[in-house]
Amino acid sequence: MSGKTAFLSDPMALFADVAHRVRDRILHGGCSARRVVEARAEGYRQWDPQVLAADRIAEELILERLRAEGSRVTVISEEAGVVVLPSPGAPPDGSDGYYLVMDPLDGSILYERDIPAFWAVAMGLWKGSRHVATLVMDLASGKAWHAESGLVSERDSSGRHRRLGGAPDGLEYRTASATRLSDAYVATYLMKPHYLRPVVQRFHNVFLASRFVVPIGGPLAWAYVASGRIDAYVPLNQPLTEVYSAMGVAREAGCIITDLEGNEPRLVPDIHQRYSLVCARDPNLHAEILERIHQGGEDAEAM
């Protein structure tokens, strides 16, 4: 196939359509969507070993639409792993090709218990390590973040939207603006017990110096930094699908994103790839977080 497919020409249109379809199925799936349908492969996400019907439903809705479009893209998704489209056995495009990194249902453990918090779908399109387009949707509220070509907008379920990075026009919350840790709200993932000790060991200097720690991660953490709800996000050893599915919204909003040594992260198209990063809205805050991490911090245990 030569040239761009409809998906590659306008990825945001497909993202928006399929995100609303996922939301509808998730909100109205009931007990059938919350049942456990299988266990993950041994050695993969051993701290989160169960797959819900909703995980599969959300992923298949997205893959079906991509196949219908004849999309030529390498998909990397939490449940399906690496899927090369348009046809099985087609050669991957390689590091300069298009990669669609998906987290079809983030927050599935909370979804299983019908706790309507931090449910999200996220889809990020990359050409190698160059960001093309990303959509993150909060499935409980319907709020969505769209990012492409230096433009980021936040839209509520009624369609009202505002461009991020501009003036705070009538926001219902105070925009994060901390330039130092003592004023900063910092997010990191702490919900699964497997993460608690390593994260606290590695980032304890950051936490002790900050104003408040928000114990969340994944797609909504990236969106919250982009939209000014929090000042910084410090993911530790997070899977590829929790990072490149949503990181684009923070990147296009002008946030500073590096690894723990201050280097720009690179997309490695491997379902087992992990990332430890610092994302901050302000460069001085970013620099202080890096400095605090390396001030006598204990190395995290292997995860």
- Lowest pLDDT segment from 24-33, 97-106, 186-195, 264-273: 24-33
pLDDT band per the 50, 70, 90 thresholds, residue 156: confident
Q: What are the start-end ranges of the E strands in 78-215?
A: 81-85, 98-106, 120-127, 130-138, 144-148, 151-155, 161-163, 185-187, 212-214
Q: What is the pLDDT of residue 174?
A: 59
Backbone angles phi, psi at 180, to 5 degrees: -145, 155
pLDDT band per the 50, 70, 90 thresholds, residue 223: very high
Round to whole Å and give the CA distance between 49 and 136: 24
Provide the terminal-to-terminal Cα distance of the chain, rounded to the nearest Å: 41
Per-residue DSSP letter, 215 = -
CATH domain 6-163 topology? Fructose-1,6-Bisphosphatase; Chain A, domain 1 (3.30.540)
User: What element of type H or E holds 257?
Assistant: strand 256-259
Q: Would the pLDDT of 34 be above 90?
A: no
Q: What is the pLDDT of residue 49?
A: 58
pTM, two decimal places:
0.87
**72-95 tens-digit pLDDT:** 899 999 888 899 887 554 444 443
Give CATH for domain 181-293.
3.40.190.80
Round to whole Å and give the CA distance between 252 and 130: 11
Q: Which of 40, 22, 49, 52 shows the shortest CA–CA distance to 113?
A: 52
Q: Structural domain boundaries of the chain?
A: 6-163, 181-293
